[in-house]
Structure 1
Amino acid sequence: MLRAALAALLLWAAPARAEIDAAETAARAAEMLEQAGFALLEAEGARDRVEALTQTVRAYEEGLLALREGMRQAALREQTILLVFEAERDRLGRLLGVLQTIEQAPAPLLLMHPEGALGTARSGMILSDVTPAVAEEARALRTQLQELATLRALQDGALTQLSAALERAQDARTQLSQAIADRRMLPENFIRDEAAMADLIGSVDSLDALAALLAADPPEAAPDLPDFAGARGTLDLPVLGTVLRRFGEADAAGVTRPGLVLATRPRALVTAPWPATVRYGGPLLDYGNVIILEPEGGYLLVLAGLGTLYAAAGDIVAADGPLGLMPGDPGGDSEELIVAAPQSGGGGLTETLYMELRAAGAPVDPADWFTATGRD
């Protein structure tokens, strides 16, 4: 029984990979955030400040994502240790009592036994068999206590770094918005007719209807863009986040949509996954702000649910060019300091971006085109 109990605890107390993973993730995040800080300084004198600041904002978002993951891993491991301590409290207390008794007992008494030499020999054999296991368990316990202290220090340091990084990320977003406002727009590939666009928007009653009308009325002068069809399966998602609902998957109300719903953080940067012409940019019904890109003739990429818009109809955007920010309070990033339930890696993903891809006027599954969508 004793050996079985010791073996079980030793398995639990083995060197914790979780602590190593959390420390490595936090170290990687610290390096990413430091590089983002340098990029923000360099963006001040960059020739194309919009491009430099776009890369800086995304670098901050990736660094913050890694830092939160390190904190989540540390919180999970700390919770595991505390749960085991709670479950083993009585037995660990008895173990500590035994170790203290052995340590305090005079050496001659440890060698004496009331049954004489034979009893002394037998007790010596038992003690020699049990003592290494008890000592090993004590070392394992000490290791776990040290790990717990390390994890708490790691989380304290990460919270401090997270607070500072959130402020710098918000500063980078503000600078990006200003740089886009100050930028002289490139020549448009077709002339905007704002009155005609307003009439068009007033005549549609759904996102599907708008996309269908745009597909049926391509611009007269199409720009020379790279082969979008050949990029199938290689595109990056337009925003850092996770897939909440897939193509044709019903939501809680039983409603299905022919696109992906991505869960993101407030004020997350949305970028163009491929060079494209902006066919529409603005509010639409209850979809929030909508951007419709045409990466190639016959294809439309619809992004709905944005907050701030950086692009408008007629613009030509480059790959990874900034399209806008997700909704969110500009001063509300402090709420992100709160680490959600450690069992959930989705804490803070409170905004949703709807993404729909259309080919020849019909919706197709975007998961076939984009990486990081969990497509098998």
Structure 2
Amino acid sequence: MAITIKDVAKAAKVAPSTVSRVIADHPRISEDTKKRVRKAMKELGYHPNVNARSLANRSTQALGIVMKSSADKALQNPFFPEVLRGISSVAHQLDYSLYISTGETEEEVYEGVQRMVHGNRVDGIILLYSRVDDPVANYLLEKDFPFVLIGKPHGNMDKVTHVDNDNVSASRDITNLLIDEGHERIAFIGGDTDLVVTLDRMQGYELALRESGLPIKEDYYIHAEFLKSGGREAVHQLFQLDEPPTGLVIADDLMSIGVITMLEEFGIKVPEDVSIVSFNNVYLSEITRPPLTTIDIQIYELGNQAAKCVIDKVCNKEEPAKRIIVPYHVMDRSSTRDIKDASLN
């Protein structure tokens, strides 16, 4: 049962109107009374409604944005500014503001989402990730709060509106590009294994290898953060093997840039010595040397569609769950080499 202002008032031994004035930080309320009321609010777990002075049925005209980690770390990856650009375009047209979570830890992110929901700070929430057994998604489902997920849900597929690419097929296609060029020793560098996008891209990689009769080697799997530093760490491990790979499937462009930088330090050239394929087609993928062959997942469109879906859910609580699949495209550039032709020369 939800805690009310009356419950706080009773615990603090004041009138409900005094609690309202404390929430509004009214100057005529003494500091002692404010401290007593705020202590009661904290002990009871009461989250004030930031729009309590507005009409009860008034919309906040705000959408919550939740990232998988702190905003400071997440925004290092160009994926997030671009997906926010797609969300913002729809929000601006429909006069919604954005409220971005800023927790430094998973616990802080979760608590921030609770405050969004309990405090009625936003009308709906967009999760910019999909995690295995994610407590945030489970909480929003439990509260029946309007939310949309960018990615494929780990569970409750029929209950969660989500906007995604077919990452299994995309990864299969990009891995087959290397196989068609004669590569047999192909490694996979992915993100955290509790992220559904990592699992899907790994599944597509394995599917392509099996269909081509190529072995799946445990030593050829590396998992790190979707950051430049993650790619650098992967090179250390893979290129100290007795049989290093000739091809790399990397689950994120920013990681790929870290890989290329580290390979240069090892004296290994791309694509002369090793071919690289990647995902996301962020703006850096075109200007890196060499330009990356990558999957364009249409990041802007993912954000655009997610914003439309969550606003639909906000406007109509009975809106059924939807699955929106944004098409992907292979951007064939200069980071791979056909080694079949080289072996014939």
Same fold, TM exceeding 0.5? no
Short-chain TM bin? under 0.3
TM-score of the two chains, using structure 2 as the length reference = 0.25
Select the structure of larger CA radius of gyration. 1
TM-score of the two chains, using structure 1 as the length reference = 0.24
Higher helix share: 1
